[in-house]
């Protein structure tokens, strides 16, 4: 069902993903969680620092509940939402220019609904989009492809199951002709790649059993979104589950290497710069009962178990809850907020802290780099911009109507921001 023009776009997208197409193209569309390049780096030139009424182009209310981030292609913005009981799952399309709703599609009405964490929603995975099609995902409740030209559903899958326990969160990723999905529950853990044109299974890779054996059942789940990198001409799917981070061949699902880092409830996705891959290891408990996570830096050039050979550094952080946001890295500096609400800048080469500042609320949406500034978004609706660099310098502070859990899309001199109450377009003409 995919046309030659759509297939041509797929190869164009991969060029974007691996950096051979330079950043100007990411300003046209924002196709995945954390952008078309999956890296949280926006390339637009001119978003406002003050987000008052003069900068709000439009705002609309999205019915029900969802923490999925907006994705953008041409004049369409897509988000997902769900009723609080999870019995109705929707995909909503909004006009980029006007804020008018184009489609409001009830995609699934599950017969059975698993429970979730009180802070999660049944529509937390972010869609992914390309020319002509958007792919919406609700974890074990279903995945669907929607034709963006007319809002018709091209295909659905509801047969991939796992016990999320706390609700769905992993977002889908497009790779060539594949749609890659993660199902990592307390009972089973596996990754599938579907033919994106018809939803048929191309490959399935089950997580190895042995790294999970030391963990309690509740500790075996994860909620991560992978990245795809290129190492010496070979693509790798980097997937940091709850007990082990594994690099797979995204064409076949074959394991290339693994780093064992026993943990639970991993949420933040991996990130990369200059040939190094970084990820949070999840929620761990020390012998003295202290809760902690480790931010790890790894050389991805290897095969087999590289835990003892390719880990460059590990930075231990005490945890008060699960680490939700994914850091952003730019020019050798990592910007993150830990679960004790310290905003930090780290040296990517060593993991050493360069500076930190105490915040007054939790930050679960992932930060975005925009033209020399790093933007952060809190669950209390605070929007903070700091100057990128080795000195803490606040650039702007804004307050939105309600909490922010969805990472925004930033493109075309606009911020597409989802709060608990509204979807906004903030920007300049």
Confidence band (pLDDT; 50, 70, 90) for 60?
A: very high
Average pLDDT over residues 352-378: 95
In whole angstroms, what is the distance from residue 108 CA to residue 29 CA? Answer: 27
Share of the chain above pLDDT 70, in %: 94
**pLDDT at 23 exceeding the cut of 80:** no
Label residue 429 by pLDDT band (50, 70, 90). Answer: low
| Domain parsing of the chain, residue ranges | 4-427
Contact by Cβ (8 Å): 233, 249: no
Put the strands of the sheet holding 353-358 in their side by side order.
328-330, 333-337, 342-347, 353-358
Q: Which residue has better confidence, 374 or 52?
A: 374
For the domain made up of 4-427, the CATH class stated in words is mainly beta
Q: Tell me what pLDDT residue 53 has.
A: 81
pLDDT for 304-345, tens place per residue? 999 999 999 999 887 777 788 999 999 999 999 988 899 999
Query: How far is residue 115's CA from residue 91's CA, in Å, rounded to a whole number?
Result: 21
Q: Is the pLDDT of residue 297 over 90?
A: yes
Across 25-100, the runs of DSSP E, i.e. the strands, are 41-42, 56-60, 71-73, 76-82, 89-95
pLDDT (tens digit per residue) in 171-226: 999 999 999 999 999 999 999 999 999 999 999 999 999 999 988 898 899 999 99
Asked whether the CA dihedral 46, 49, 54, 56 is positive or negative, the reply is positive
The mean pLDDT of 122-129, rounded to a whole number, is: 98
Strand ranges (DSSP E) for 289-372? 291-298, 304-305, 311-318, 328-330, 333-337, 342-347, 353-358, 368-370
DSSP letter (8 states) at residue 222: B
Query: Which are the contacts of 102, defined by CB distance < 8 A and separation ≥ 6?
Result: 76, 93, 94, 95, 151
Mean pLDDT, residues 5-10 taken together: 38
**What pLDDT shows up at residue 5?**
39
Q: Are 344 and 337 in contact (CB under 8 A)?
A: yes
DSSP conformation letters of 244-309: EEEEE-TTT--EEEEEE---S-B-SPPEEETTEEEEE---EE-TTS-EEEEEEEE-----EE-TTT
Mean pLDDT, residues 384-401: 96
Q: Taking a C-beta distance cutoff of 8 angstroms, is the pair 383, 399 a contact?
A: yes
> Which are the contacts of 172, defined by CB distance < 8 A and separation ≥ 6?
125, 127, 128, 135, 137, 143, 179, 180, 181
DSSP state of 29: -
How much is the average pLDDT of 47-59? 90
Mean of the pLDDT values across residues 22-32? Answer: 74
The tally of CA atoms less than 13 A away on the side-chain side of residue 319 is 24
The structure tokens listed for 154 are: 């091209």
Q: What residues contact 205, with CB distance under 8 A and at least 6 apart?
A: 190, 191, 192, 248, 253, 254, 255
- Give, for 418, the enclosing helix (H) or strand (E): strand 414-418
**Is pLDDT above 60 for 92?**
yes
Mean pLDDT of the chain: 91
Q: Residue 204, exposed/middle/buried by CB under 10 A (0-12, 13-18, 19+)?
A: middle
* pLDDT confidence of residue 265: 80
Tokens standing for residue 268:
């933040």
Q: Is the pLDDT assigned to residue 13 strictly greater than 70?
A: no
Tell whether the model's pLDDT for residue 7 goes beyond 80: no
Q: How confident is the model at residue 131 (pLDDT cuts 50, 70, 90)?
A: very high
pLDDT at 25: 62
DSSP bridge pairs for 334: 329, 346
1 band by pLDDT with thresholds 50, 70 and 90: very low
Its pTM surpasses 0.85: yes
Q: What is the pLDDT of residue 261?
A: 83
Residue 258 pLDDT greater than 50, yes or no: yes
CA-derived radius of gyration, the chain: 20
Strand intervals (E) in 99-200 = 101-108, 128-130, 133-137, 143-147, 153-157, 173-175, 178-184, 189-195
Q: CB atoms < 10 A from the CB of 54, how many?
A: 8
Residue 419 has pLDDT above 70, yes or no: yes
Q: What pLDDT is stored for residue 12 in this prediction? A: 35
Question: Facing residues of 129 across strands?
Answer: 134
Q: Which residues on adjacent β-strands are paired with residue 218? A: none
Most confident of 52-61, 135-144, 289-298: 135-144
Tell me whether strands 41-42 and 368-370 are parallel, antiparallel or unpaired.
Answer: parallel
pLDDT for 306 equals 97
Whose tokens are 């609309």? That residue is 60
Residues 319 and 283 sit within 8 Å (Cβ to Cβ): yes
Task: Flag whether pLDDT at 20 surpasses 90.
Answer: no
pLDDT digits (tens, 9 = 90+) for 94-108: 999 999 999 999 999
Q: Which of 10-19, 125-134, 237-246, 356-365 has the lowest mean pLDDT?
A: 10-19
Residues 367, 37: Cα–Cα separation, whole Å: 14
Closest CA to 374 of 18, 32, 47: 47
């Amino acid at each position: 069902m995919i046309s030659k023009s759509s297939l041509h776009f797929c190869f164009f997208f991969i060029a974007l993903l691996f950096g051979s197409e330079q950043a100007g193209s990411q300003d046209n569309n924002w196709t995945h969680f954390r952008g078309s390049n999956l890296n949280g780096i926006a390339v637009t030139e001119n978003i406002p620092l003050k987000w008052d009424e003069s900068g709000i182009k439009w705002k609309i209310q999205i019915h029900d509940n969802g923490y999925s981030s907006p994705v953008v292609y041409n004049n369409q913005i897509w988000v997902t939402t769900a009723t609080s009981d999870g019995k109705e799952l929707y995909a909503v399309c909004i006009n980029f220019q006007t804020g008018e709703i184009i489609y409001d599609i009830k995609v699934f009405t599950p017969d059975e609904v698993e429970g979730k964490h009180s802070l999660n929603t049944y529509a937390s995975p972010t869609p992914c989009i390309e020319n002509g099609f958007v792919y919406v995902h609700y974890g074990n409740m279903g995945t669907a492809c929607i034709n963006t030209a007319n809002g018709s559903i091209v295909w659905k899958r509801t047969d991939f199951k796992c016990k999320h326990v706390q609700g769905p969160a992993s977002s889908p990723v497009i790779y060539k002709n594949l749609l890659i999905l993660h199902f990592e529950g307390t009972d089973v853990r596996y990754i599938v790649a579907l033919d994106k044109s018809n939803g048929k299974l191309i490959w399935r890779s089950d997580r190895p059993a042995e790294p999970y054996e030391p963990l309690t059942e509740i500790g075996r789940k994860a909620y991560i979104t992978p990245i795809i990198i290129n190492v010496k001409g070979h693509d790798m799917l980097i997937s940091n589950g709850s007990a082990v981070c594994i690099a797979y061949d995204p064409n076949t699902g074959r394991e290339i290497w693994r780093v064992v880092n026993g943990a639970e409830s991993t949420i933040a996705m991996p990130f990369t710069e200059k040939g190094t891959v970084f990820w949070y290891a999840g929620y761990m408990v020390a012998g003295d009962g202290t809760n902690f996570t480790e931010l790890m830096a790894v050389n991805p050039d290897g095969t087999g178990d590289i835990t003892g050979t390719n880990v460059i550094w590990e930075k231990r952080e005490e945890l008060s809850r699960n680490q939700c946001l994914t850091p952003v890295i730019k020019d050798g500096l990592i910007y993150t907020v830990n679960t004790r609400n310290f905003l930090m800048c780290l040296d990517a080469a060593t993991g050493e802290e360069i500076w930190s500042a105490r915040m007054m609320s939790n930050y679960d949406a992932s930060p975005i780099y925009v033209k020399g500034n790093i933007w952060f978004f809190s669950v209390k609706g605070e929007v903070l911009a700091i100057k990128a660099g080795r000195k803490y310098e606040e650039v702007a502070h804004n307050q939105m109507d309600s909490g922010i859990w969805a990472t925004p899309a930033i493109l075309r001199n606009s911020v597409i921001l989802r709060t608990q109450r509204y979807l906004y377009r903030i920007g300049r003409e």
